[in-house]
């Protein structure tokens, strides 16, 4: 029996797919990311933008076309927000919401064995995914939190992921001990809003501190994080040899007024203060980010303010989103929505800047000695990311993946200016 997984959207979705795949694999199923020849296709959807909805629909249709005989399971945030529409459009599919996601193995197993998906309304634990090391990714994603209560005015996630909830400290530590014992070299902390982590009085920085003090040869990467809850304790961890010097710190806008309209819980000044405090310890520290261009009411000057902040920080990478309306969010009801033409034009300018900044950030790493976690080997070239999350490559006869190597390396696909 072969189960194919198609995943859209964020790291948390990736984590959940990987964990499910590991569970199928551990129970004798063949798992793959290719739908060809699969008996079951699980599509883990995303709904964060209109584009994500379109992509999710496309992936489902495409998988159905390639493999018309396969049973289709649709889950994830779009299955939460658009369950009825999806069921109508794909009547043969089994649609499972986020709550039932961690129980998909049981549903599919019963679907295959009895012809009926067991969708009993059990309250599956959001953290009951099994621990695993390598599934589809070399990095070991660890879920520490789910849900969000921030309700940024543009965002649909709080509606589809539910209330903020943190995984108990000991469960997180145990999960990491297990994957490290199985050979994981990079731990990526994921969740919907991990800066709000709090369990038994332990806040995010306290948790990271405990993780860094676990034994083993691994590095910890903090995935996407909101800049709204950094305490002094956090800054004392910067420079720790096990903490990867990289943060994906979500800016969204460089305009104070737009940040207020977005109901974000930090100011541009707060953001810059974090950057400055961290770079005072490690000047090469990599900041990557998300920005939204064309939020309702965004003036040309406010857009320029975001460009200016991006230049000032020198982001190593930027995810740029053209603002897209999400149903029933406050931003949908705001005045002065920006015409698509203007959003596209701003997006182009931001992309051009992002490319320039990425190249600038990466240049000093080229041809230097770096510690690289090898993820791929092909034709005598090993590649992977260094501690700073710069993609690097070097010639090597050693085909082994998932190993650290300290070596003189080139930045991948680097073109000298």
Partner 1 sequence: MQKRRFNLHTILEKRVLTDSTFVLRLEHNGLEFTAGQHIQVGPPNGIHTREYSIYSAPTDDFIEILVREIEDGVVTPALKKLEAGDSVVVNDAVGYFTIDKEVAEGKQFLFVASGTGISPFHSFVKAFPSLNYTLVHGIRFAEEAYERHHYEPSRYVACTSRDEKGDFHGRVTDWLTQNPLNNDTLCYLCGNCDMIHDVYDILEKQGVSSKNIFTEVYF
Ligand X SMILES: Cc1cc2nc3c(=O)[nH]c(=O)nc-3n(C[C@H](O)[C@H](O)[C@H](O)COP(=O)(O)OP(=O)(O)OC[C@H]3O[C@@H](n4cnc5c(N)ncnc54)[C@H](O)[C@@H]3O)c2cc1C
Binding-site ranges for partner 1 (CB under 8 A): 97-99, 126, 146-147, 149-151, 159, 161-163, 165, 256-257, 260-261, 263, 265, 267, 269-270, 330
Contact call for residues 139 and 18 (beta carbons, < 8 A) = no
Choose the contact partner of 170 out of ligand X, partner 1, ligand SF4, none; CB within 5 to 8 A by kind. Answer: none
Nearest residue (CB) to ligand SF4, 30 versus 231: 231
Is residue 335 involved in binding ligand X (CB under 6 A)? yes
Task: Provide, rounded to whole angstroms, the least separation between the CB of residue 333 and ligand X.
Answer: 5
Query: 384: burial class by Cβ within 10 Å (0-12, 13-18, 19+)?
Result: buried
SS3 160: helix
Could you tell me whether strands 404-411 and 368-378 are parallel, antiparallel, or unpaired per DSSP bridges?
A: antiparallel
The contact mask relative to ligand SF4 for 223-262 (x = CB under 6 A, - = no) is ---x------------------------------------
Residue number of the CB closest to ligand X reads 333
Q: Dump the DSSP string for 249-307.
A: E--B-S-HHHHHHTT-SS-HHHHHHHHHHHHHH-TT-EEEEEEEES-TT--HHHHHHHH
Choose the contact partner of 96 out of partner 1, ligand SF4, ligand X, none; CB within 5 to 8 A by kind. Answer: none
Tokens 């903020």 belong to residue: 164
The contact mask relative to ligand SF4 for 175-214 (x = CB under 6 A, - = no) is -----------------xx---------------------
Indicate the helix (H) or strand (E) that contains 353: helix 340-362
The contact mask relative to ligand SF4 for 131-170 (x = CB under 6 A, - = no) is -----------------x-xxx--x-xx------------
Nearest residue (CB) to ligand X, 186 versus 302: 302
SS3 237: helix
Nearest residue (CB) to partner 1, 181 versus 280: 280
Is residue 13 involved in binding ligand SF4 (CB under 6 A)? no
Q: Which two tokens stand for residue 260?
A: 């207020």
Which residues, other chains included, contact 178 with Cβ-Cβ below 8 Å and sequence gap of 6+?
131
Is residue 397 involved in binding ligand X (CB under 6 A)? no
| CA separation for the pair 263, 249 (Å, rounded) | 17
Choose the contact partner of 126 out of ligand X, ligand SF4, partner 1, none; CB within 5 to 8 A by kind. Answer: partner 1
Nearest residue (CB) to partner 1, 190 versus 393: 190
Which residues, other chains included, contact 224 with Cβ-Cβ below 8 Å and sequence gap of 6+?
10, 11, 190, 194, 248, 250, 290
Task: Provide, rounded to whole angstroms, the least separation between the CB of residue 183 and ligand SF4.
Answer: 32
Nearest residue (CB) to ligand SF4, 158 versus 254: 158
SS3 354: helix
Task: Provide, rounded to whole angstroms, the least separation between the CB of residue 193 and ligand SF4.
Answer: 5
Q: Dump the DSSP string for 38-87.
A: -SEEEEEE--SSHHHHHHHHHHHHHHHHH-TTSEEEEEEHHHHHSHHHHH
Task: Provide, rounded to whole angstroms, the least separation between the CB of residue 345 and ligand SF4.
Answer: 24
Total of residues contacting ligand SF4 (CB under 6 A)? 10
Contact call for residues 306 and 293 (beta carbons, < 8 A) = yes
Is residue 376 involved in binding ligand X (CB under 6 A)? no
Is residue 298 involved in binding ligand SF4 (CB under 6 A)? no
In terms of Cα–Cα distance, which of 256, 258, 284, 260 is closest to 272?
256
Q: Binding residue for ligand X (CB under 6 A) from 333, 348, 399, 400?
A: 333
Binding site for ligand SF4 (CB under 6 A): 148, 150-152, 155, 157-158, 192-193, 226
Which residues of this chain interact with ligand X, rule CB under 6 A? Answer: 333, 335
């Amino acid at each position: 029996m072969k189960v194919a997984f198609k995943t859209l959207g964020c790291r948390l979705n990736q984590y959940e797919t990987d964990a499910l795949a590991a569970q199928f694999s551990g129970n004798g199923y063949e798992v793959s990311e290719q739908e060809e020849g699969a008996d079951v296709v699980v599509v883990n959807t995303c709904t964060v933008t209109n584009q994500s909805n379109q992509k999710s629909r496309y992936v489902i249709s495409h998988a159905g076309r390639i493999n018309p005989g396969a049973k289709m399971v649709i889950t994830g945030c779009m299955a939460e927000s658009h369950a009825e529409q999806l069921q109508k459009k794909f009547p043969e599919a089994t649609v499972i919401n986020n709550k039932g996601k961690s129980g998909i193995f049981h549903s599919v197993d019963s679907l295959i064995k009895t012809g009926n998906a067991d969708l009993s309304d059990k309250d599956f634990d959001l953290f009951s995914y099994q621990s695993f090391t390598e599934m589809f990714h070399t990095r070991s994603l660890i879920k520490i939190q789910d849900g969000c209560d921030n309700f940024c005015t543009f965002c649909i996630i709080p509606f589809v992921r539910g209330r903020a909830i943190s995984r108990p400290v000991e469960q997180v530590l145990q999960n990491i001990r297990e994957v490290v014992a199985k050979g994981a070299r990079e731990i990526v902390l994921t969740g919907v809003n991990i800066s709000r982590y709090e369990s038994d009085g332990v806040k995010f920085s306290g948790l990271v501190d405990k993780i860094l003090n676990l034994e083993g040869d691994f590095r910890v990467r903090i995935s996407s994080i909101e800049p709204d809850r950094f305490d002094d304790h956090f800054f004392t961890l910067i420079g720790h040899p096990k903490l990867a010097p990289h943060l994906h710190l979500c800016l969204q806008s460089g305009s104070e007024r737009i940040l207020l309209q977005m109901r974000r819980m930090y100011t541009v000044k707060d953001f810059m203060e974090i950057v400055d405090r961290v770079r005072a310890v490690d000047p090469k520290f990599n900041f990557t980010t998300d920005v939204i261009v064309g939020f309702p009411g965004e003036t040309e000057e406010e857009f320029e303010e975001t460009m200016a902040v991006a230049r000032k920080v020198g982001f190593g990478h930027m995810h740029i989103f053209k603002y897209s309306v999400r149903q029933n969010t406050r931003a949908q009801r705001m005045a002065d929505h920006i015409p698509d033409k203007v959003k596209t034009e701003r997006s182009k300018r931001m992309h051009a800047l992002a490319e320039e900044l990425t190249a600038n950030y990466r240049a000093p790493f080229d041809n230097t000695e770096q510690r690289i976690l090898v993820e791929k080997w092909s034709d005598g070239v090993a590649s992977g990311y260094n501690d700073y999350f710069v993609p690097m490559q070097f010639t090597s006869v050693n085909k082994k993946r998932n190993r650290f190597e300290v070596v003189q390396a080139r930045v991948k696909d680097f073109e000298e200016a």
